[in-house]
Amino acid sequence: MGGNDIIEQGAATALWQALVREGERETGCALGEDVESYLVFALMRHLRDDQLVARVMALDWLQAHELPGRERVDALRDVGDRCLILAGLFPGQAQRRRVDAGYFVDLGRSAYETVAGATRAGYADLFAQLVDAYLAMVRVLASAARRPLPRLGGDGTMTAQPVPAGLSRPLH
- Residues 93-106 have pLDDT tens digits of 888 889 988 999 99
In a domain, 10, yes or no: yes
Q: How many domains does the chain have?
A: 1
Measure the CA–CA gap between 154 and 160, rounded to whole angstroms: 13
In a domain, 132, yes or no: yes
Owning domain of residue 24: 3-161
In a domain, 95, yes or no: yes
Measure the CA–CA gap between 56 and 63, rounded to whole angstroms: 11
Q: Which amino acid is at 162?
A: P
Measure the CA–CA gap between 128 and 134, rounded to whole angstroms: 10
Q: Distance from CA of residue 150 to its chain's centroid?
A: 15
pLDDT at residue 149, rounded to an integer? 54
- Residues 17-76 have pLDDT tens digits of 999 999 999 999 999 999 999 999 999 999 888 888 889 999 999 999 999 999 999 999
Greater confidence (168 vs 88) lies with: 88
List the one residue out of 131, 166, 171, 130 whose CA is nearest residue 41. 130
pLDDT above 90: percentage of residues in the chain = 59
pLDDT at residue 158, rounded to an integer? 41
pTM, two decimals, is 0.79
Measure the CA–CA gap between 5 and 44, rounded to whole angstroms: 14
Task: Quote the mean pLDDT of the chain.
Answer: 83
In a domain, 90, yes or no: yes
In a domain, 142, yes or no: yes
